[in-house]
Amino acid sequence: MERYTLVPRYTADDTRYAQMQYRRCGNSGLKLSAVSLGYWQNFGTYDQYETARAVTRRAFDLGITVFDLANNYGPPAGSAEETFGRLMKEDMHPYRDEMVITTKAGYTMWPGPYGDFGSRKYLLASLDQSLKRMGLDYVDIFYHHRMDPETPLEETMGALAHAVKSGKALYAGISNYSPEKAREASALLKEMGVPCLICQSRYSMLDRKVERDGLFTALSDCGMGATAFSPLAQGLLTGKYNNGIPQDSRAAGASISLNKDRVTPEALEKVVALGKLAARRGQTTAQFALSWVLHQPVMTSVLIGASRVSQLEENIGALNNLDFSEEEIREIDDILD
């Protein structure tokens, strides 16, 4: 007789909203969990499905409501959305209305002139493909993933507005935009009757560009929220590289996100010094780095990835101490500058 392995049905923790913080996104009525789970890496076909499943379940049990994807996440491209679609079907579908599911389009997804950047044809076709992979009728936020130097911004924003007005997305967002283009995109969408909800950017203690180039001011002026990706500098701000490059780390492999050349003595010197401040606050270096990102007034949520449940739990612990004294801010700036 053939035997089948029965997977226990998932039931979310009744206390899931007790500890998480929820922040209003810009001037909108939407609140996001202060920590979001990103599917950029660790959730593709080449990764272990049961690990992805355990991380996703635990994230929701801990109050994370924002699940961040893109058409090209994997690897290979598209497979993270396929994994998420399976998770929705097997575990999460009863909780769809408690989740903010996002996706993006803007990087190369298929060959030829219609699978990249920001044309109306590419963005709307990509959104349809993403919805099919995830088995969804709509996403909560649809982002344009990067600026397009050739397509008129009116066309790109028009595609986002159409996605919202057609019901395939509830909100429009942008990612990797300059302050000037963010202001322009916001103004265009406002004219079209679809406010620009949020901007997603790379931001960490080791990469403060968007803090200093005027993006945060632009987002605040436009009533937009912000979310940060790579807040741990792809692992540098965990302290895992302080004593060399582990063989199983991203920097040791062929990761697209962290090249070993970025693990410099100068960067590690800063991380070690930051770790000492973290210990003084009763935090790990990773928790300290995430807390610092979240202390920015414009920051709605911080995106974390996780390859194991314990890593997820440690990172969410950052929420236990988000306050910084003026002295601590000065010490941090002295280390980083």
Peptide linkage before 75 cis (omega within 30 of 0): yes
User: In the chain, how many domains are there?
Assistant: 1
Assess if residue 253 is contained within a domain.
Answer: yes
Residue entry with tokens 């070690």? 272
Peptide linkage before 94 cis (omega within 30 of 0): no
Assess if residue 135 is contained within a domain.
Answer: yes
Q: What pLDDT, on a 0 to 100 scale, did the predictor assign at position 258?
A: 54
Assess if residue 4 is contained within a domain.
Answer: no
DSSP secondary structure code for residue 6 in this structure:
P
Q: What pLDDT, on a 0 to 100 scale, did the predictor assign at position 142?
A: 99
Residue 86 region by backbone torsions, left for phi larger than 0, else alpha for psi between -120 and 50, else beta: alpha
Q: What pLDDT, on a 0 to 100 scale, did the predictor assign at position 5?
A: 53
Query: What's the angle, vertex CA 119, arms to CA 114 and CA 122, rounded to 5?
Result: 45
Dihedral of the CA atoms 293, 295, 300, 303 (nearest 10)?
20
pLDDT in tens, 227-236: 999 999 999 9
Closest alpha carbon to 126 in 162, 89, 91, 93: 162
Amino acid at the residue 262:
R
192 token code pair: 């079209």
- What is the DSSP track for 201-245? EE-BTTB-HHHHTTHHHHHHHHT-EEEEE-TTGGGGGGTTTTTS-
Q: What pLDDT, on a 0 to 100 scale, did the predictor assign at position 257?
A: 52
Query: How many residues are recorded in the chain?
Result: 337
Half-sphere exposure of 274 (CA within 13 A, CB side): 30
Residue entry with tokens 């203690």? 205
Assess if residue 7 is contained within a domain.
Answer: no
pTM (predicted TM-score): 0.93
**Ranges of the chain whose pLDDT falls below 70:** 1-8, 244-260
Q: Assign 90 to helix, strand or coil.
A: helix
Question: In which domain, by residue range, is 321 found?
Answer: 22-336
Q: What pLDDT, on a 0 to 100 scale, did the predictor assign at position 3?
A: 54
Query: What's the angle, vertex CA 30, arms to CA 141 and CA 156, rounded to 5?
Result: 30
How do beta strands 100-105 and 299-304 pair? unpaired
- What is the DSSP track for 181-212? HHHHHHHHHHHTT--EEEEEEE-BTTB-HHHH
Q: Assign 32 to helix, strand or coil.
A: strand
Assess if residue 6 is contained within a domain.
Answer: no
Assess if residue 126 is contained within a domain.
Answer: yes
- What Å distances lie between residue 64 and 60, 115, 196, 240, 312, CA to CA? 5, 32, 23, 25, 11
**Helix H or strand E encompassing 100:** strand 100-105
Assess if residue 263 is contained within a domain.
Answer: yes
Assess if residue 91 is contained within a domain.
Answer: yes
CATH number at residue 209: 3.20.20.100
